[in-house]
Structure 1
Amino acid sequence: MDEDAPSEITVLTLNVWGLLAISKQRTERLVEIGRRIAHREPVPHIVALQECFVQADYEAIRRETRFALPYGKYFQAGAFGSGLVILSRWPIEESWCHEYPLGGRPTAVTQGDWYVGKGIAGIRTRMGRMGEWVEVFNTHTQSPYPSDSHIVHRLSQSWQIAKHLNTATLQQSKLDSGSLVLALGDFNMKPCSLQHKILAARAPAMRDTWRVLHPDSSLGNVRDAAERARRRPVPTVEYNLVENGCTSNNATNTWRWPKGLQRKLAARAKKEGKGQAGGSGGLGLGAVDFTDVHHVPDDALDENGHRLDYVFANVAGAERDGEWEDVSVASPITGEPREGERDKTLDKKPSSGGLNGGGKKDGGSADGGSKSSSRRGGKRGVHFQEYPIDVHGPVASLKEKEPPSKPVWVIRNAQVTMMERHPTLGCSLSDHYGYEVTLVRRTPKTKQPSSPTNASNPAEVQKTSPPSAMKKGTAGRRNQDRNERPHTPPPKHDRERDPSVRDNNGRGTYLDSPTASERRGSSDSSRQAKFSALPPSASAAAVGVEDDALPLTDQQYSSILGQIRTYASKKEKEQRYRYVHFVISLLMTLGFLAAVWFIPTSYGGFVFLFVGMLNFAAGVLDGLYALLFLGRERGCLLEFEWEVSNARSKERGSRLEVEARNLNLAGGGGGGGGGGGGN
């Protein structure tokens, strides 16, 4: 690869679980994480880490990756650091770190989100000495809790991320072609949740790379309401890794095992005498076999796995067999090909790629190509619904546009990574798995205008005519083109004959069952097997998954505003309560001080004075909390509410304008010259 102008970039995100005095085997694990990153093939160009709170751990990772990733930034924020780290192959030109306005509260000591300064960090670098700009964002948003008392904070953080990303894409669009914006991290949100929809709608140029390749992947674990509504069978361990992209709560992750199994694993490592820091070997050298402690087979059911780690990028689509699909092929509303593009979609031959749209093209069985036609995303035959992206606004993103003529970035491969165990401790490297994405730069092919020589030949003119020139009278010509390049529909799978499907139905809790398809192209050679995928008839739209590129609906805006107002009302009452407590504690303290003069014994006076001091301290803390934190939080809530209300008003106005324009166009086309007679 030419380092002056690289045409391919690989990025990796991983939550390293590096909490001081809380995370187990922290030092040994993070050293091994750095070692694994440095020896990956290919070595990532950009790495984003979360929960790396200890400076010494960051320095240990830098020592391991100093040759592969010579540049890095540890971002300081909050009382204990942000935990955000970005490693880069290229020099860092700029860096920044912005704390979220709403990021937890000080009274939630056990949660710790407020103390670590949750925020979004970023760098700006060039891909090589003469390459394009890359703007990289790294974030770790508010953690979800059972009561979900921080839902408004999490919505606000998604809103803030979208603002930063939309600004970045607008700036990059004014620069040279091929500039890239990346957002990596532990977003602590489920796919197609309200937080996810906010980010996708408010930063329409950014795409969730996994959903580009797997638009029908899971929306959470099997107990989540959105996933239960899809009525799918309980996924297996391997299906969650390969098709659903689950990086958290995986059944194979040792830190999700029961405490008894974790203690047994630690005892086994101690017994082997290789539990010292770093071990005697790395990357499997001198490693201990821990499979006898507990082994989770690939076909075991995984009820808790879900996806929390994401890579968003301003990509134009996904690469398929060395080519990429135009972003304006499918309709953003129905998923059907647009007028003038329908025949091009039908003419596309079913691709025979493998997992995640990457890897070898010549591997697999003879019928692999037809099987992959029933898969979704990546190189699968189901055409991903690509939509034109307009960074100037969500409503404008629905306008049809000409294919881009400048170089664009497309997704070649995406996979769950960093699933290895520590060679001497036997534990997983983190409580999360990593997520890796490979992007490639492509220049769209443009049709050449017909030459005078060709113009004399009607057949040549027909071949060089652009789609926009096709009228209703060209239906026969389209059929002729289709006859020249016949489209072979993918074969239907008899899902009742698939024993793996029958087993899943027997053990699962839902009705529908995936069909079998063959995986190829993964870099993890230990997991090359067959997996299930949905047929085209059960696409994301068919199961009720709204498209990510669509703007927020009025109902969604109302839901956000309703939650903001409910939370603000609750906090306003809490603020009044704490002010009242402060006043009462002040009066009680004065009473205690006065009562000391009337107590005959010194012991009784000391007790009264001590209790009065404690009462006064508690009242002062409550008063300061109400004044400083709750007052600031209330201001941030008002700002958030105004931004959402303003966005909804603009959205309503834009929709009314679009509807009026459509009505005028319809009236002008149908009424002819009679349009001037009405009002």
Structure 2
Amino acid sequence: MANQEITSPSDLRILSLNCWGLKFISKLRNERLTEIGNQIAAAKPPPEIVGLQECWTKQDYEAIREKTKHLLPYGKFYYSGIFGGGLVILSKWPIEESNMVRYPLNGRPAAFYRGDWFVGKGVAHARIRMGPKKSDIAEVFCTHLHAPYEAEPFDSYICHRTAQAWEITKLMRGAAERGHLVIGLGDFNMIPLSLAHRIIETHSPVQDVWRILYPGSSVGAAKDKVEQLRGVPMPNAEFNLTQNGATCDSALNTWRWNKAHSQRLAKGENVQIATTVDDPNAKRLDYIFFSSGQHYDAASGERTAEWTLKDTNVGMTMRHPTLHCSLSDHFSVEATLVRDLNGPTSDVNTGTAAPPDRYLPIETYDEILATIKKYDTRERIQRRLRLGHFGFQLLFTIGCLIGVWWSPYNYVSFILMLLSSLSLSVGVIDGLMGGLFVGSELRALKEFQWEVENTRSRALANGVKEA
């Protein structure tokens, strides 16, 4: 499609969904992701930019593309890590440029049963040309931050998720400074107003679309202390969908049901849950952030924003037509942006306006630095333990080989040789993780620490007071 055939859009429909497409692990994966493609194609109004997470296989990507290519003719499946990043961007308009930016702090290889490090989590970025003018560019950032495996502040990966939020914030801020429409979407694995959430909204000009329209919405699951302190009544499932924007752990999502309901569903029974049921576990982990392209009019001296938010909603709540299961263990978050066609879309006598610098409270930077220091200490201890374990296994291997000389029986020699081989293998793996991986992670921590300290210094210089 040539640029001259494209007209500047007056509105933009966006959809983000975690597909739960883990190969060999996610149940009914092929059937669900194919139906996700069907439902995206049938959506009203139709989405024009779609970001998917946990779409791990090219097969599932192609299945969704086949269903949606008439609506979203442009798409990119992003490759990353050992098993793939699981990120996809689909678009109504051409993708001019694309890249995959991996996070420097990205989980630990020793936690192979969690897989975050092996999939190479990062940011999928697409520069989309929506029309012929310079202002018709949207920069889309799709991501899936590191999962929390314990509640904050006890989550040992909180430093990773904080650093990842910092990284995507830099990318979105750079796009905003170029004067482009910025769209950040994905499964951020954070609750509203958490540290990662505040970093994103403070250090880049993007805004959480749900909190624009629902500023009093929940900041966690109803059972969580952070939400109980607000003193709000127990929400039902419908309220969580329509007012709190809960996309995860909903009582209406079949993958979160108890064993009894799941067994009935597995037998083919179309179990129904009333929308009025109490919903203590539902929370919002999926987000759409956006920042309008801001321009400076030299004639009037005014800064103008082209795009504004019209509406947002939780979607993809329907169930598979024959299997009766939810299409994913998450629901989608969707939004519509509208454009001021009387604004400076012609780019005549206008230039981009850099967003003003904003800062978090100084104590928040101190909190981040304390988190970095705590994790740095942990990793240094881990490195010593792993290298010590390598030394022990090496000595044990040598001992087994010496023992072979004095062995009176062949089967004893075989056992000693087997033990020496296994011992050396385990020791070398641990030594490599301690000497190479942990060393790399400590260097990434130093970079993150410097950036936070530098930003803290600038905040003080710009008048932010210490508590």
Same fold (TM over 0.5): yes
Match of 1:298 in 2: 275
Question: Is 2:260 aligned against 1:265?
Answer: no
The change in CA–CA distance for 1:445 and 1:618 in structure 2 (over 3 A counts) is: closer
Match of 2:243 in 1: 243
Counterparts of 1:421 and 1:594, CA distance in 2: 64
Counterparts of 2:58 and 2:211, CA distance in 1: 34
Match of 1:151 in 2: 158
Q: Kindly indicate whether the alpha-carbon contact (under 8 Å) linking 1:100 and 1:119 is maintained by their aligned counterparts in 2.
A: yes
The change in CA–CA distance for 1:602 and 1:405 in structure 2 (over 3 A counts) is: closer
Match of 1:612 in 2: 420
Match of 2:314 in 1: 416
Aligned-pair CA distance for 1:609? 1.8
Question: Is 2:19 aligned against 1:16?
Answer: yes
Question: Is 2:394 aligned against 1:586?
Answer: yes
Counterparts of 1:585 and 1:428, CA distance in 2: 49
Residue ranges of structure 2 left out of the alignment (5+ in a row): 345-356
- Which residue identity is paired with 2:244? N
Secondary structure at the counterpart of residue 655 of structure 1: coil
Secondary structure at the counterpart of residue 308 of structure 2: strand
Kindly provide the CA deviation profile for residues 142-171 of structure 1, in whole angstroms up to 9, marking residues without a partner as x.
011125111100111001011111111112
Counterparts of 2:309 and 2:6, CA distance in 1: 20
Q: Kindly indicate whether the alpha-carbon contact (under 8 Å) linking 2:54 and 2:85 is maintained by their aligned counterparts in 1.
A: yes
Question: Is 2:181 aligned against 1:168?
Answer: no
- Which residue identity is paired with 1:184? L
| More moved, 242-251 vs 103-112 | 103-112
Secondary structure at the counterpart of residue 462 of structure 2: helix
Counterparts of 1:624 and 1:214, CA distance in 2: 49
- Which residue identity is paired with 1:617? S
Kindly provide the CA deviation profile for residues 589-628 of structure 1, in whole angstroms up to 9, marking residues without a partner as x.
2222112111222222221221122111111111111111
Counterparts of 2:295 and 2:404, CA distance in 1: 73
Question: Is 2:92 aligned against 1:85?
Answer: no
2:140 to 114, 121, 136: 136
Q: Kindly indicate whether the alpha-carbon contact (under 8 Å) linking 2:254 and 2:262 is maintained by their aligned counterparts in 1.
A: yes
- Which residue identity is paired with 1:220? G
The change in CA–CA distance for 1:92 and 1:421 in structure 2 (over 3 A counts) is: same
Residue ranges of structure 1 left out of the alignment (5+ in a row): 174-178, 270-289, 317-388, 392-401, 447-548, 660-679
Alignment of 1:459-478 (within 5 A): none
Secondary structure at the counterpart of residue 311 of structure 1: strand
Counterparts of 1:390 and 1:612, CA distance in 2: 68
| More moved, 587-596 vs 128-137 | 128-137
Match of 1:311 in 2: 288
- Which residue identity is paired with 1:185? G
Alignment of 1:401-480 (within 5 A): 404=302, 406=304, 408-442=306-340
Question: Is 2:435 aligned against 1:627?
Answer: yes
- Which residue identity is paired with 1:246? A
Q: Kindly indicate whether the alpha-carbon contact (under 8 Å) linking 2:250 and 2:256 is maintained by their aligned counterparts in 1.
A: yes
Question: Is 2:99 aligned against 1:102?
Answer: no
2:365 to 530, 539, 557: 557
Counterparts of 1:126 and 1:560, CA distance in 2: 37
Q: Kindly indicate whether the alpha-carbon contact (under 8 Å) linking 1:405 and 1:444 is maintained by their aligned counterparts in 2.
A: no
Aligned-pair CA distance for 1:550? 6.0
Secondary structure at the counterpart of residue 106 of structure 1: coil
| More moved, 306-315 vs 121-130 | 121-130
Alignment of 1:663-674 (within 5 A): none
Counterparts of 1:444 and 1:228, CA distance in 2: 45
Kindly provide the CA deviation profile for residues 602-655 of structure 1, in whole angstroms up to 9, marking residues without a partner as x.
222221221122111111111111111111111111111111111111111111
Counterparts of 2:112 and 2:434, CA distance in 1: 17
- Which residue identity is paired with 2:235? P
Secondary structure at the counterpart of residue 83 of structure 2: coil
Kindly provide the CA deviation profile for residues 547-596 of structure 1, in whole angstroms up to 9, marking residues without a partner as x.
xx962111111111111101110110110111111112212222221121
Aligned-pair CA distance for 1:223? 2.4
Secondary structure at the counterpart of residue 606 of structure 1: helix
2:385 to 557, 565, 577: 577
Alignment of 1:204-219 (within 5 A): 205-219=205-219
Counterparts of 1:46 and 1:154, CA distance in 2: 25
Counterparts of 2:388 and 2:206, CA distance in 1: 47
Counterparts of 2:217 and 2:295, CA distance in 1: 25
Aligned-pair CA distance for 1:66? 1.1
The change in CA–CA distance for 1:231 and 1:638 in structure 2 (over 3 A counts) is: same
Aligned-pair CA distance for 1:222? 1.4
Counterparts of 1:423 and 1:5, CA distance in 2: 37
Secondary structure at the counterpart of residue 412 of structure 1: strand
The change in CA–CA distance for 1:166 and 1:445 in structure 2 (over 3 A counts) is: closer
The change in CA–CA distance for 1:602 and 1:624 in structure 2 (over 3 A counts) is: same
- Which residue identity is paired with 2:117? W
- Which residue identity is paired with 1:307? R
Structure with greater strand percent: 2
Q: Kindly indicate whether the alpha-carbon contact (under 8 Å) linking 2:295 and 2:305 is maintained by their aligned counterparts in 1.
A: no
Kindly provide the CA deviation profile for residues 113-156 of structure 1, in whole angstroms up to 9, marking residues without a partner as x.
11111110011111134571111110011011125111100111
The change in CA–CA distance for 1:575 and 1:219 in structure 2 (over 3 A counts) is: same
Q: Kindly indicate whether the alpha-carbon contact (under 8 Å) linking 1:207 and 1:315 is maintained by their aligned counterparts in 2.
A: no
**Aligned pairs, how many?**
443
RMSD in angstroms over aligned alpha carbons?
A: 2.2
Counterparts of 1:47 and 1:82, CA distance in 2: 16
Question: Is 2:197 aligned against 1:193?
Answer: no
Q: Kindly indicate whether the alpha-carbon contact (under 8 Å) linking 2:306 and 2:343 is maintained by their aligned counterparts in 1.
A: no
Counterparts of 1:190 and 1:390, CA distance in 2: 32
Kindly provide the CA deviation profile for residues 648-672 of structure 1, in whole angstroms up to 9, marking residues without a partner as x.
111111116x99xxxxxxxxxxxxx
Counterparts of 1:312 and 1:404, CA distance in 2: 24
Counterparts of 2:341 and 2:362, CA distance in 1: 37
TM-score (norm 2): 0.91
Match of 1:536 in 2: none
Q: Kindly indicate whether the alpha-carbon contact (under 8 Å) linking 2:126 and 2:140 is maintained by their aligned counterparts in 1.
A: yes
Counterparts of 2:286 and 2:301, CA distance in 1: 31
Q: Kindly indicate whether the alpha-carbon contact (under 8 Å) linking 2:248 and 2:329 is maintained by their aligned counterparts in 1.
A: yes
Identity %: 45
